[in-house]
Amino acid sequence: MNRRLTSAVALLAVAALSSAPAHAATKKKPKPIRGSYAVHLNPDPTTDVFSEASQKNPTGEPCGLSTASEDRHAFKIPAAGTLHVVLDSPNPLPANYALGPDWDLHIMDADGSELDASTSPEAHEETTDKFKKAQPLTILVCNLTGGTDAKVSYTFTFA
């Protein structure tokens, strides 16, 4: 009987030791990073005017001619994962107004190149981008013909 007890204890010890490394190797994914901020910008419709005339903005910038109509928010991508950004501004005008409140959202990399954009003719814009590694970027918001206030919210989900 002593031999059976010793064998059972040895078997349990081997099972416990073999399952510990598998359990220890499982890492818990970090929680998503969430944030939001308000922007207060005067409208600058020059980008829409150039677009209506089928011309490019002569500055080459995604926003209008006035830097007072744009907000640049630095964000550091911490690791591989997905960044979802939403821009919302209240729409004080009827939905069928031809030149309604227009805001644009751009995601720019460290050297100022555009990675993604949402440029609908509305006051709601969204982008979703996947990243393979940590890197700095800028969330660029432009008020073209909208009201003066908007909210930007973002969620970064680790891969």
Give the residue from 120, 116, 109 showing the smallest Cα distance to 75: 109
Between CA 140 and CA 32 the distance in angstroms is 21
Predicted pLDDT of residue 1? 53
- Does pLDDT of 155 surpass 90? yes
- Range with top average pLDDT, 1-10, 25-34, 63-72, 125-134: 125-134
Q: Please give the share of the chain, as a percent, with pLDDT higher than 90.
A: 52
DSSP letters of 117-158? EE--SSSEEEEEEEESS-EEEEEEEEESSS-SEEEEEEEEEE
- Residue range 59-67: mean pLDDT, rounded: 80
- Residue range 116-144: mean pLDDT, rounded: 95
Q: Helix or strand or coil: residue 104?
A: strand
- The residue among 45 and 6 whose pLDDT is bigger is 45
What residue ranges define each of the domains in the chain, with the CATH number in brackets? 33-158 (2.60.120.380)
Between CA 126 and CA 121 the distance in angstroms is 13
Work out the pLDDT band at 51, boundaries 50, 70, 90: low
pTM of the model: 0.76
- Does pLDDT of 138 surpass 80? yes
Give the dihedral sign, CA 12/14/17/23: negative
Work out the pLDDT band at 46, boundaries 50, 70, 90: confident
Predicted pLDDT of residue 66? 85
> How do residues 14-39 score in pLDDT, each as one tens digit?
555 555 555 556 778 899 999 999 99
